Amino acid sequence: MRTLFGTDGVRGRANVEPITGETAMKLGQAAAAVFRNQSGGRHRIVIGKDTRLSGYMLESALTAGLCSMGVDVLLVGPMPTPAVAFLTRSFRADAGIVISASHNPFYDNGIKFFCRNGFKLPDEVERDIERCVFSNETSALRPTGAAIGKAFRIDDAEGRYIEYVKSSLPKGFDFEGMKVAVDCAHGAAYKVAPTILRELGAAVTVIGNAPDGVNINLDCGAVHPERLQKVVVEVGADLGIAHDGDADRAIFVDAQGRVIEGDAVLAMFALAMQRAGALKGDAMVATVMSNMGMEIALRTAGIRVVRSDVGDRYVLEQMVKHGLNFGGESSGHVVFLDHHTTGDGLITAVQLLRLMKQTGKRAAELADCMTPLPQVLLNVPVRRKAPLPEIPEMASLLADCEARLNGQGRLLVRYSGTEPLLRIMLEGEDQAEIFAMAESVKHLAEKHLGGLEAA
């Protein structure tokens, strides 16, 4: 059983295990041992980070661990997560490492890895790294003399990534005449996001671009778009773009200052790609949390929706499995596999601006492509996570709910992967009916899993 890696690398409170300098150094040593077995010659690993104060500590510790194992380190500094994935491929490095806790507060941090092809690590490789951390087998593998690794600061990493994002647009395409407001969350995109938009000709208003190590995601960015909503209206922007701390996702605000539903963003892209003959298999991948209204709108257009577990890595797994080139999450992770190997908030942003300019439609018009079904979300604290089919009363109730929905709605009941919670989601045409069904499931869950009976 893995004890370090979660669904997106290693994450936790900075300077508390496992996000300590000591464990980071061991992770660096273990990663070096695993990745250098995959090819010959001199080995190199890229390290990027967001703007958290603890990034300095973890960057130094990882670098020490990698160099102690004879691996050279390419340091690119504050850089979006998708930039590190791209630079790993661009520099033909053995792997890439990102130091970031994404949308979490500054006091958290994380360490996640990319393979040499720019994809996130398979579970088996993470298990190999974890085994090395705890087995201490790297002690016998440390080189000496000239075989010890070196660290280099890469000066042109920012420029390489900027040109890469711009290359996702047709040659010569620009945003002249468009006004954009962008919130960088005081995070990794604070330089590159406004630079890309300005170099493409947009008039740009920027907020959240003064990181100080502790203000990342603080009342700003994708998690808190309220200030951006006001700025969009104040400056008369055509679109507002909010990134999270590591800029692998984007949340959008229309010209009226309204946040656009993430499912509507996915739907508008899928429909546009289908019209252009660019949507492979006439299908896309969305997680189990995407609203059924999106699925209904796309089905009407002849587009099939493949469902995945929650998490962009699982979206990608399904895309690769089914040979598809588009997918994402309603939380703002959007994957254009023709352009990148991972979700990229900056590529998503320029693709939406491109769609607006090509169609002559405002963002709100494009978002009208789907009508979300009423949805109820409830969380039930539980003391145990018993398989629901093994609770006869619960199994019967869930079957009854499915029958009442009769294919015109959706029921999803699942345990949280990180918290002692049972998550209940119901979608349907009648708000009162689905709320009553959700309450019934909640009460039964409390009876069997959250009360004294579950002790």
Per the CATH hierarchy, to which homologous superfamily does domain 10-155 belong? Alpha-D-Glucose-1,6-Bisphosphate, subunit A, domain 3 (3.40.120.10)
Q: Which residue blocks in 301-377 are alpha helix, DSSP H?
A: 312-322, 345-359, 363-367
Nearest CA to 331 among 266, 390, 396?
A: 266
Q: Are 54 and 25 in contact (CB under 8 A)?
A: no
Q: How many beta carbons lie within 10 A of that of residue 143, not counting itself?
A: 13
pLDDT of residue 372: 92
pLDDT of residue 39: 65
pLDDT band at 2 (very low <50, low <70, confident <90, very high): low
Judged against a pLDDT cut of 80, whether residue 32 lies above it is answered with: yes
Give the residue extent of every domain in the chain: 10-155, 161-253, 262-344+359-367, 375-454
> Where do the DSSP E strands lie in 329-420?
334-336, 375-381, 410-415
Q: Are 216 and 50 in contact (CB under 8 A)?
A: yes
pLDDT band at 335 (very low <50, low <70, confident <90, very high): very high
State the average pLDDT over residues 164-183: 97
Judged against a pLDDT cut of 90, whether residue 231 lies above it is answered with: yes
Q: Are 220 and 232 in contact (CB under 8 A)?
A: no
CA distance linking residue 115 with residue 119, whole number of Å: 6
* Fold matches, 161-253 and 262-344+359-367: yes
User: pLDDT tens digits, residue range 417-443?
Assistant: 667 899 999 999 899 999 999 999 999
Residue 100 a catalytic site member: no
CA distance linking residue 399 with residue 440, whole number of Å: 13
CA distance linking residue 23 with residue 29, whole number of Å: 10
The one catalytic residue in 54, 102, 168, 308 is 102
Write b or e for each residue in 220-245: b if 16 or more Cβ atoms lie within 10 A of its Cβ, otherwise e. Answer: bbbbbbebbbebbbeeebbbbbbbbb
pLDDT of residue 452: 38
pLDDT band at 408 (very low <50, low <70, confident <90, very high): confident
Counting Cα atoms < 13 Å in the Cβ hemisphere of 304 gives 9
pLDDT of residue 407: 81
Q: What percent of the chain has pLDDT over 90?
A: 88
Structure tokens at 383: 């003391």
pTM of this structure = 0.90
pLDDT of residue 38: 67
pLDDT band at 406 (very low <50, low <70, confident <90, very high): confident
Q: What φ, ψ does residue 179 adopt, rounded to 5°?
A: -110, 130
Q: What is the CA radius of gyration of the chain?
A: 23
Judged against a pLDDT cut of 60, whether residue 364 lies above it is answered with: yes
User: pLDDT tens digits, residue range 59-107?
Assistant: 999 999 999 999 999 999 999 999 999 999 999 999 999 999 999 999 9
CA distance linking residue 372 with residue 263, whole number of Å: 8
Q: What φ, ψ does residue 152 adopt, rounded to 5°?
A: -130, 140
pLDDT of residue 453: 40
User: pLDDT tens digits, residue range 122-173?
Assistant: 889 999 999 999 987 888 889 999 999 999 999 999 999 999 999 999 999 9
CA distance linking residue 417 with residue 413, whole number of Å: 13
First to last CA, the chain: 25
CA distance linking residue 287 with residue 438, whole number of Å: 20
Second CATH level (architecture) for the domain 161-253: 3-Layer(aba) Sandwich (3.40)
pLDDT of residue 1: 46
pLDDT of residue 418: 64
CATH topology of domain 375-454: TATA-Binding Protein (3.30.310)
Structure tokens at 120: 């996130």
pLDDT of residue 139: 85
Mean pLDDT of the chain: 94
Q: Which of 14-18, 37-41, 138-142, 162-166 has the lowest mean pLDDT?
A: 37-41
Quick check: helix, strand or coil at residue 234?
Answer: helix
User: pLDDT tens digits, residue range 365-400?
Assistant: 999 999 999 999 999 999 989 999 999 999 999 999
CA distance linking residue 20 with residue 45, whole number of Å: 20
User: pLDDT tens digits, residue range 239-261?
Assistant: 999 999 999 999 999 999 999 99
Quick one: residue 316, left, alpha or beta (phi over 0 = left, psi -120 to 50 = alpha)?
alpha
Domain boundaries 262-344+359-367, CATH class: alpha beta
pLDDT of residue 40: 66
Cβ-Cβ contacts under 8 Å for 28 (sequence gap 6 or more): 61, 62, 63, 64, 65, 66, 68, 69, 97
pLDDT band at 310 (very low <50, low <70, confident <90, very high): confident
User: pLDDT tens digits, residue range 262-306?
Assistant: 999 999 999 999 999 999 999 999 999 899 999 999 999 999 999
Cβ-Cβ contacts under 8 Å for 455 (sequence gap 6 or more): 383
